[in-house]
Chains A and B, each alone.
Chain A
Amino acid sequence: MFHIHCPYCDEYREEEEFHPRGQAHLARPATPDTTTDDEWGGYLFFRDNERGIHHELWVHSVGCRKFFNITRNTATYEIHETYKMGERPSVTAENLPDSQHQSGVQAATSGWQTVGARPESASLNQEEQV
C-alpha cells in the first residue's frame, strides 16, 4: 500500500485516502471539432503502458479532494515525486539516471503532455489555495 505525499496538504497519507485517475498530462485537443477522428480516438482510448517511469493523475478523495500528479515507477512502485496541477514533473524518462536505464527499467517518453499541467494554469491553481 502506497504512502503518498499530497502536495496540497503537504503531508504523507495512506493510499486508502486517494484514488488513481489514470495517466496524467493527457491533452484534450483544444479545438475538438477540427480534430481528426484518429486524433480524437487517440485522446479517448490510447494510453501508455510503461514498465518504469509513469506520470499518473491521483485525487486526494477523502482528504482535500484536490487532483495532483505522481511520478511513479511501475516496476518498483517507488514514488519519485508528487506535484500540483500546472507543475511539471522533475523526474522524467529524459533525466532518469543512467543506472536505472541499465537495470532494465524503461521510461515513458514523457514528452510534453499538456493537460492538467498547462503551465499557464499554475497560477490559477495556487490562487485557489486559501
Chain B
Amino acid sequence: MTQQNRLANGGLIDRKRQLTFTYNGKRYTGYEGDTLASALLANGVDIVNRSFKYSRPRGVVAAGAEEPNALVQLGATESTQVPNVRATQQALYEGLVAKSTNGWPNVQRDLMGMVGKMGGSFMPPGFYYKTFMAPASMWMTYEKYIRKGAGLGRSPTENDPDTYDHLHQHCDVLVIGAGPSGLMAALSAGRRGVRVILCDEQEEMGGSLLDSRELINSQPATRWVSDTLDELNQLDNVTVLSRTTAHGYHDHNFVTLHERRTEHIWDRATPANGRPQVRSRLHRVRAKRVILATGTHERPLVYANNDVPGNMIAGAISSYIRRYGVVPGNSLVLSTNNDHAYRTALNWHEAGRKVVAIVDARPSPKGTLVDQARALDIRIISGSAVIEGKGTNRVSGACVAAIDPAAFKVTGKVEELECDTIASSGGYSPVVHLSSHTGTRPQWNSEIPAFVPGEVKGMTPVGSVTGVFDLKTAFDTALSAIDHALEEAGDTSSSKVTEAPQVDAIQEGPCCALYQVPHTKTTLRAPKQFVDFQNDVTASAIEIATREGFESIEHVKRYTALGFGTDQGKLGNINGMAIAARILNRSIPEVGTTVFRPNYTPVTFGAIAGRHCRDLFDPERYTALHQWHVEHGAEFEDVGQWKRPWYFPKTVNGKKETLDEAVARECLAVREKIGILDASTLGKIDIQGPDAREFLNRVYTNKWAKLAPGRVRYGLMCKDDGMLMDDGTTSCLAENHFLMTTTTGGAAGVLEWLEVWHQTEWPELDVYFTSVTDHWATMTVTGPDARKLMEEVTTDVDLDRESFKFMDWKEGTVAGVPARIFRISFTGELAYEINIQANYAMKVWLELFDKGEKYGLTPYGTETMHVLRAEKGLIIAGQDTDGSVTPEDLGLQWAVGYDKPFEWIGKRALTRPDTSRKDRKQFVGLKPKDANVVLEEGAQIVLDPNQSIPMAMVGHVTSSYYSAHLKRGIALAVVKGGHERMGETVYLPMADGKVHEAEIVSPVFLDPKWERQNV
C-alpha cells in the first residue's frame, strides 16, 4: 500500500525511517514520528471503527486524547494485549499490531450495521432500559449479545510479562503540559533554581507550537521549543517527563503522573542498556505549586451526519498536516465560528489541496487570518454553516446554508458543495478536567464561550486553559504565575531572569456561540446529529431526554450515556449541555456542568498496581519456627498477615492424611499424651509504669489490683458500648510491669486502643506500651505428659504441681535458654507456654522434639487448637463474638468486676436497657442429636421447624467441629435467652431442605470441673 495522503515534505516525521505495521490483519507502512492514527490516515484508511449503538462507520476525528473513535486493541501476543488504546496517542513502531475494537465481523462489513440502518429510530435513548427490562431474569442473556455487538476491547487472558514502578516525588513547581505557557513557566522556574517537574502526555513536547504557523523570535516555533527543552534538560533541578500524563489531581496538590517509558518502542518493555526496564512509572507527586497548562480541546460543531468518516475537528487536520505531513483528503470545507480555525484552511491550501470553502457562522468575519484566506482567493461563506454532511463511508459533500444561531433557524437556501473532508470548529474548551478532580466546579466564561478551571488552592492555570488564546498572553501569564507562586513561597531571588520571547501579534475577531447547527428539518427529523461519538448520543436523544423530564444535566447524562465513554465526553459534553440548555431555555451555566473524575485518560492496571502484586502484594509474617513447619509438611492458614500452621498431615501407607484425619490424630495426642503448638503469633504488649496496674483496671472488665508478681490472669476487654472486643491473659512480671497477650488478629488494634485511651483520656496515668509480639516465640506444651517433658528440658524451675500452680508464671531456662514459662491453658489440659527470645526459639523447639519423641510429642496446628478449646467452651474473640456480644452474654460474669472503684470501659453500657434484656443472644453449647452431624458454622437456629417461611431465627452457630475425643459433633452457638434454655431442643434448617436437631447444653463439653489442667 502506498501512503497516498503523505506529503513529500514537511512535518516532524523522519522519512528515512520507514516502519511497517499491521492493522486489522493488513500490512501498512508509516514513518518514525507517526502516531498510529497519522499512519492510518496517510494510508487512506477512512473507517477505523463501528459506532457503539448504531454501528455506523467512523473515522479518525481528532489528533490527541480527545479522540472518541479510533480505539484499537493493541498487542502482538496474548499477554501484551491492551484494549481501547487511542490510535491518536499511540506512537508507531516497527511491527506494531493493532485491531479495531469494534465491528463484528469486521469494520468494513458489519452485521450490526443492519440494525443501525433500519433501526435508527427504533433505538431511542434509554433503549436498553426500555427494551430489555422484562423479564428481568433474561437480562443476563441479552447482555451477552449486546456486549458482543457493542464490542469494546478485551483484556488479555495471560499474565502481564512486564513490571511497573511507583515513584514518590516532591517538587516546588509541577508544570502540567509542555505547550507554550507550560514550557515558559518551567523555564522561568527552572532558572530560578527551584525543583521543577514538567510533564506532557504527548510523544513530543511543544503542544500547540508543534503545528503552529507562528514565528517566535523570528524563527519557527519548533525551534524555540527545542532550544527551551535543551536548556531544561541541562538543569539539575528540573525533571522533564515526556510521554507522561497527569491523570489524577487529588487533595493538597497530590498529582499522579503516568510515564510510559517503552510503549512507543514495542508492545512489551524493551531492555535499556542491556538491562530490563519497567514498562511505565506512576509518579506520585506532592507539589507545592501546580501550574496547570493543559491547553484546550477544540469542540466540533453538531450538524447532520457529522460522524461520517471525513468529518474532523479543524485543529486535528492542522496537526496531521504540519506534524505528520499527512493531508487526510483532497477537497476541504471548513465550518467555523472563530478565526483560529482558519489556520486549517491555510495549511490545507499550502499542502497543495483544494479548499472548497470556509463557511463562517459570523456575519462579517474580520482578522489577520481571515485576510490571509481572502488573499489566497479562498471562498468565504459568511453567516452560514455546514448543516449536513453527505456520504456513507466517506464524506462526499457538504450542505451549506445561512443560519441564525440565536433563533436556531436556517435562514437561507441550501447549497451543496462537493468535498471529501469537512473540518469543523465550534470553539475551544479549556481542559479543566484535572482541576475538576479536586472537587472544584469549573466556571463559565461567556466570552470564549466555555468553562475555565475553578479555583484550586496551590494551583495556577496559565495559557489557553484560562481562556486566553493568543501566544503573547500565554507567555506573559506563565511568567507572572511563576513569579507570583515563588514570591508566595517566600522565594526572594525574584530577579527576573526570563523574558517572554518575541511573537507577532495576530488580530482575531470574536467568535460567536454555536454548538448544534440548525437544520431545515427539526432535530428529531433531520439526519442524526452526533454529540458524543463514542456512545452514539445524538442531539435528538438529548432533546427526547429533556422532553421525558430529565432536566438536570446529570440525569440527561445518565439517561443518554453522554460522556460515559472512555473519553469521558471530551468532545461532546459542552455541546450536549448547550443543547439541553437551548431546549430548556436556560443558560449553559444554569444547566450546570458534569463532574470530571480521575483518570483523565485510562491508566493500565499494571501501572496502578506497580510492584504491589504477586509476592509483594501483601507482607507475609513468619514465626521463628516457620522453617521447621515447612519442612514438616504443615498446611498453612492465613491469620491476618501471619502464616500459621493449620495442621500437620502425615503420610500413612503412602497416603497423605486429610484435614479431618490429621486433626483427629492431633487432638487425641493432646488429650492422651502430649502436643505442641507454635503460638508465637499471639499479640504481646509489654506494659510498664507506676500506673500500669490502674490502667489495666480501667481497660479490662475484671480486677487487677491484687495480682501479684508471678501470677497470670485472664482478662476481657470491652468497648465503651459494653461489647467484647478482645480477650487474653496478662501476667504480672513485677509490681509496675505487665505482659498482656491479645488475639493474633487483634494485636495492632489493641495496642492502638490502649494508646488512644492513654493519650486522649488519661494522660495523667504514668504508663507506656511496647509491642513485643515478634520478640518472643511462644511454644505451648500441653497434654497429660507435659510435666514429664518439661522436667527433662529445664533444671532450674520447680515444676511441682503445688509450687508451680495453674495461672502462675516463672522465669528460668529451657534447653539452656532463658525463658518465661506460663502455666496457662487453652486446651483444658496441663499446659506450659514457654516464651523464648525469638532468635533462640528454634534450638529450644528442636530440643523439645529431641526429648519429647519418646512421649509421642505431636505438633498441632490452629485447627486442632480450635477443636480443643471448643471442647472446653473457650471463646475465640471474633469467631464466637461479633461486636454485639457482652461478657454477660458469654456467661463470663465471673470475669467482670462490677464493684471496681473506677468506672472501667464498658461498665456503664452493661446496664443500658438493650444490654440488660433477658432475650439477648447468649453463648451456649449445641449437641447435635445425631452424633455424626457436624453443624454448619453460621447455620441459623429456630425453635419450631414447621413454621412458615420466613422463620423466626433465634440464633446461629458460631463454631462447630467433630470431636475425636468425644466421638461426636459439637458446636458453640448464640441463642436468644440461651442460658435459660439448657436441655431444650432447637432446629437448624439447611439450604438443602434437611433439618438438624440439637440440644442446648453447657458450652463446656469436657471435664466440667476443670481437673485435667491441674493434673
Which residues in A have their C-beta under 8 angstroms from that of B763? Answer: 85-86, 121, 124-125, 128
A11 interfacial by beta-carbon distance below 8 Å: no
Which residues in A have their C-beta under 8 angstroms from that of B908? Answer: 32-33, 35, 40
Partner of A1, one of B254, B760, B909: B254
- Please judge, given known A-B contacts A44-B909, A86-B763, A121-B763, whether A79 and B439 are in contact too, CB under 8 Å: no
A65 interfacial by beta-carbon distance below 8 Å: yes
Which of A32, A59, A85, A125 has the most C-beta atoms of chain B within 10 angstroms of its own C-beta?
A32
Taken together as a complex, chains A and B put the C-alpha atoms of A115 and B763 apart, in Å, by 11
Taken together as a complex, chains A and B put the C-alpha atoms of A104 and B827 apart, in Å, by 62
- Please judge, given known A-B contacts A1-B251, A128-B763, whether A40 and B457 are in contact too, CB under 8 Å: no
Taken together as a complex, chains A and B put the C-alpha atoms of A39 and B761 apart, in Å, by 18
The 8 A CB mask of A16-32 against B (1 = contact, 0 = none) is: 00010100000010011
B906-964 with Cβ < 8 A to chain A? 907-909, 912-913
Taken together as a complex, chains A and B put the C-alpha atoms of A19 and B761 apart, in Å, by 18
> Are B755 and A2 in contact (CB-based, < 8 A)?
no
Partner of B759, one of A2, A3, A33, A125: A125
A93-116 with Cβ < 8 A to chain B? 115-116
B172 interfacial by beta-carbon distance below 8 Å: no
List 14 interface pairs A-B (beta carbons < 8 Å), by A numbering.
A1-B254, A3-B251, A28-B720, A33-B908, A37-B913, A41-B912, A44-B720, A44-B909, A45-B721, A77-B251, A77-B252, A77-B439, A85-B763, A125-B763
CB distance from A3 to the nearest CB of B (A): 4
Chain A residue nearest in CB terms to B440:
A76
> Are A21 and B252 in contact (CB-based, < 8 A)?
no
> Are B761 and A3 in contact (CB-based, < 8 A)?
no
CB distance from B309 to the nearest CB of A (A): 43
> Are B755 and A59 in contact (CB-based, < 8 A)?
yes
A48 interfacial by beta-carbon distance below 8 Å: no
Which residues in B have their C-beta under 8 angstroms from that of A41? Answer: 912
> Are A32 and B907 in contact (CB-based, < 8 A)?
yes
- Please judge, given known A-B contacts A40-B908, A44-B909, A79-B252, whether A115 and B760 are in contact too, CB under 8 Å: yes
A6 interfacial by beta-carbon distance below 8 Å: no
> Are A59 and B756 in contact (CB-based, < 8 A)?
yes
Interface residues of chain A: helix, strand, loop or mixed (majority): mixed
CB distance from A96 to the nearest CB of B (A): 16
CB distance from B998 to the nearest CB of A (A): 35
Which of B439, B764, B913 has the most C-beta atoms of chain A within 10 angstroms of its own C-beta?
B764
Residues of B in contact with A, size category? 20 to 34
A67 interfacial by beta-carbon distance below 8 Å: yes
Taken together as a complex, chains A and B put the C-alpha atoms of A21 and B908 apart, in Å, by 22
- The number of chain A residues with a CB under 8 A from chain B is 35
Taken together as a complex, chains A and B put the C-alpha atoms of A41 and B764 apart, in Å, by 26
Interface residues of chain B: helix, strand, loop or mixed (majority): mixed
Chain B residue nearest in CB terms to A45:
B721
CB distance from B773 to the nearest CB of A (A): 15
> Are A3 and B252 in contact (CB-based, < 8 A)?
yes
9 nearest interchain CB pairs?
A32-B908, A116-B760, A3-B252, A124-B763, A32-B903, A67-B759, A1-B254, A77-B251, A121-B763
Chain A residue nearest in CB terms to B902:
A32
- Please judge, given known A-B contacts A44-B720, A79-B252, whether A21 and B756 are in contact too, CB under 8 Å: yes
Which residues in B have their C-beta under 8 angstroms from that of A33? Answer: 903, 907-908
Taken together as a complex, chains A and B put the C-alpha atoms of A16 and B70 apart, in Å, by 39
Which residues in A have their C-beta under 8 angstroms from that of B250? Answer: 1
> Are B756 and A67 in contact (CB-based, < 8 A)?
yes
Chain B residue nearest in CB terms to A122:
B763
CB distance from B57 to the nearest CB of A (A): 44
Taken together as a complex, chains A and B put the C-alpha atoms of A110 and B311 apart, in Å, by 59
B212 interfacial by beta-carbon distance below 8 Å: no
> Are B286 and A14 in contact (CB-based, < 8 A)?
yes
A90 interfacial by beta-carbon distance below 8 Å: no
The 8 A CB mask of A31-75 against B (1 = contact, 0 = none) is: 111010100110111000000000001010100011100000000
CB distance from A94 to the nearest CB of B (A): 23
Chain B residue nearest in CB terms to A32:
B908
Taken together as a complex, chains A and B put the C-alpha atoms of A37 and B910 apart, in Å, by 11
Which of B761, B763, B913 has the most C-beta atoms of chain A within 10 angstroms of its own C-beta?
B763
> Are A31 and B252 in contact (CB-based, < 8 A)?
no
> Are B760 and A85 in contact (CB-based, < 8 A)?
yes
Taken together as a complex, chains A and B put the C-alpha atoms of A2 and B250 apart, in Å, by 8
Which residues in A have their C-beta under 8 angstroms from that of B163? Answer: none
CB distance from A71 to the nearest CB of B (A): 15
